[in-house]
Structure 1
Amino acid sequence: MKKIVALVLGTLLVFSLAACSMSSPAESSGTEPAESQQAAASEDGAAADGEYTVGFCPMDLSNNFWAAIANSFEEAGEEAGIKTIVTDGKSDAATQVTALENFISQGVDVIVVGPVDAESLQGVIGEAKNANIPVITHTTAYDDATCNMNVDEIEMGTAIGQLAGQWMVDTFGEEAGCKYAILTQSQLEQTIGRENGIQAGIEEFVPNAECVTKVDAHTTDLGMTAAENILSAHPDVCAIIGINDSGALGAYETVSARDMGDEFFIGGVDGTDQALELIKGGTIYRGTVYLNPVGTGQQFIDYALALKNGEEIPESYMVPVNAISAENIDEYIQ
């Protein structure tokens, strides 16, 4: 009897050890983070579900312009029956590289990106090309991209600068030594052209105008803080112009809160809904440059559909530049 009991106990011990050895280390310890499990699942998701999938990494979703494009992109994708994945670039080159590498490993059908800077994505866009994944870029052109949607930076800056310059003449006269500030994003090489355009556009109308400072402020929160600092250091400025609407919208909040009266100009670039509404309302937000963010999100999906159907898309596309002020706002918003 003792021998039988010992045999049974020995057998049970063998099965117990075998069961333990079949468990993965993560299952045994229970320490694998939930996000790791989700990431592993998502890596196979795009390819495994059989859906036509487009991954989009905008420069920064805290920027109203990119947020508007992303929303339009997702809505257009849903309507077209295309699966969309949006990953925020967060104005960080390394984050964008990782996002595109993930898109490639997921096996998406098309990649769309608004690059944070030109150099950082060269390699990963080449990887996408080698994997036969078309890449559509916005703002920055790459040889390995399938389509580059671009904008004339100097033309954009000049357009909003001219609106500011005309307002200065109408308000203070041609000889006035108006002081103004520019909100920029200095880590982006393309904003240099935009800044130069803003200054050139103003000088066409007011040769004596002076740019007293340029401040990095490409988001609404940064724009609010920048405007506070600008007005404290230069209380006599009469205009703050942003290289985008997002930073300028923040400046608008600060200047409006100070109740500085009507003799002030705020303007930006992008043509976001918020900017258009403020122009329509006759506020001190007096101008923007319309880059049609909603239409851009739709266009990304249109291009993806064309590629899905085996059709060609243009290798390059220049986004039209249209300055908007109170005089023509009704053409863009009812």
Structure 2
Amino acid sequence: MANEYWQGWDAGCKLATEQLGLKYMSQTFEDSIEKQISQIEQAPSLGVNAVVTFAQNAEVIKALAATASQVGIKLANAHSTAAWLHADDAAYGDAYLLYSQPDNIRGIAAMAQALFDKIGNTGKVLYVGGLPGNFSADSRMAGVQLALGKNPDITLVANEPGGENRVAARPVVENLLTAHPDVKAIISYNDDTAIAVLDVLRERGLTGSIVTAGNDATREMLNRMREDESALGTVSINAPFMTGYSVVTLYDALEGVNYDPLEKMRYFDSLFLDSPEAAEKYLAAMDPSGRIDFDFKGMSRHANGDNWKVQWGMEVIDPSNFWGKIESMTSLKPADWTLPEKVAASIQAGNVDKLNAMYKAHSAPGPLSAVTGLTRAKKTVLGFS
């Protein structure tokens, strides 16, 4: 909870439960897989029947979902999932109701493209990435590769893991800049990495001559965008919406709402903030706790019937081509892998497009709509306005 991103995560849960009249308990597992599993096991004894969590690593989600099924609670998980595992897997009954993540490939590609545009779509660049083997890190690298493929005059001269925080990233940035002093841009894995880049650039007198961008839309990075000419932007992956809407999904399911099997895996939208004005507006939309005032009750299908409205974009994840986009995942595909029967039938029925069209039809302006209008694209990564 010392991390700003997780503060926003907690704030979104709190707001959704308040609006829906639910009781809320917040726990941390302090990077301990054993503690995280234990908390799921103990949930019923605390009167808890639904949990929103972030799997500590890709494989632990199997244990978390199995435990949730055994003790009879509903589970929503974000950001980290096992390769080639669909949330509708029969092994977990109907316990694993939602896996969500931003589309890191499209989000990071949009961020990288903005950096490339800023430097005239030619020149040398660096990428300070996340931890290899981590699902988010590998998918963000795929986003970098997607942008590079569209920019033949951009050369990626080095790609090094930066450990995901500024302390670990700083020596990596220093060494890379020493080895490659003629780069024009540095693609940063997240905002903490970007802050390390900005600090090193400032100390070396390079502010303004090299640009960077991050991911997370933390207050510190948003403020740097307003005052540091090397800080081009940051991708908002909107923690308060991710957890708040996860609460809505669990609530609706407990109240008897039936979801299409494809809806158990969804992309929640992201937004590349690329102007000081957008940064200022985004900061104004957050309170000190990280809360953003979404109308989560208005998003509930149980509470609103067919009049539910979502205030942030989303898409179902098409599992038939989800893992195959990420190089590290392709080798992990089991030889006998098949989709769950109901998921395969839904895809065959054309429900990927139908469900995504439904989300567009039920979209409504929200607390970040004005921010979106201040970005260069004037739309989110998933194409919502």
Q: Tell whether the structures are fold-level matches, with TM greater than 0.5.
A: yes
CA separation of 1:90/1:159 partners in 2, compared to 1, >3 Å: closer, same or farther? Answer: farther
In the superposition, the TM-score normalised over structure 2's length comes to: 0.60
**Which of 48, 54, 60 does residue 120 from structure 1 map onto?**
60
Q: Secondary structure at the match of 1:212?
A: strand
Match of 1:306 in 2: 252
Q: 1:321 aligns to what?
A: 270
2:279 paired with 1:240: no
Q: 1:156/1:99 Cα in 2 relative to 1: closer, same or farther (>3 Å)?
A: farther
The residue type paired with residue 153 of structure 1 is N
| Cα gap change, 1:312 to 1:257, in 2 (>3 Å) | farther
1:147–1:326 CA distance, 2 compared to 1 (3 A)? same
* Distance in 1 of aligned mates of 2:188 and 2:3: 12
Q: Is the 8 A contact 1:161 1:199 kept in 2?
A: no
Question: Shift in Å at residue 310 of structure 1?
Answer: 4.0
1:201-212 paired onto structure 2 within 5 Å: 201-205=147-151, 207-212=153-158
Give the RMSD, CA atoms, in angstroms. Answer: 3.1
**Equivalent residue, structure 1, for 2:99:** 148
Instruction: Quote the offset at 1:194 in angstroms.
Output: 1.1
Question: For 2:225, which of 279, 285, 296 is the aligned residue?
Answer: 279
SS of the counterpart of 1:101?
Answer: helix
Which of 371, 378, 385 pairs up with 1:332?
371
Change (3 A) 1:120 1:305: closer
Q: Matched residues in 2 for 1:274 and 1:76: separation?
A: 26
Deviation at residue 167 of structure 1 after TM alignment: 1.5
Question: Structure 1 residues 215 and 257, CA, compared in 2 at 3 Å: closer, same or farther?
Answer: same
Stretches of structure 1 that go unaligned for 5 or more consecutive residues are 1-60
Higher Cα radius of gyration: 1
Instruction: Confirm or deny: 8 A CA contact 1:165 1:203 kept in the other structure.
Output: no
Contact 1:182–1:195 (CA under 8 A) maintained in structure 2: no
> Identity of paired residues, percent?
18
The residue correspondences of 1:6-45 to structure 2 (distance < 5 A) are none
Any residues of structure 2 matched to 1:126-145 within 5 Å, and which? 126-139=66-79, 140=81, 142=87, 143=89, 144=92, 145=96
8 Å CA contact 1:183, 1:218 repeated in 2: yes
Q: TM-score, normalised by structure 1?
A: 0.68
For the pair 1:193 / 2:139, whether they are aligned, the reply is yes
Q: Distance in 2 between matches of 1:291 and 1:222?
A: 22
Pair 210,283 (structure 1): closer, same or farther in 2 beyond 3 Å: same
Equivalent pair of 1:164/1:202 in contact (CA under 8 Å): no
Partner SS, residue 51 of structure 2: strand
Aligned-residue offset at 1:104: 5.3
Change (3 A) 1:252 1:62: farther
Partner of residue 297, structure 2: none
Number of aligned positions between the proteins: 269
Q: For residues 253 and 103 of structure 1, what CA distance do their matches in structure 2 show?
A: 43
On the 8 A contact 1:227/1:255 being kept in 2, the answer is no
Opposite residue 61 of structure 2, the aligned amino acid is L
Compared CA separation, residues 189 and 315, structure 1 to 2 (3 A): closer
Distance 1:288 1:252, change over 3 A: same
Distance 1:244 1:209 in 2: 21
How big is each residue's C-alpha offset from its partner over 1:268-310, in whole Å with a ceiling of 9 and x where there is no partner?
2233343333334453221222222222232233334434544
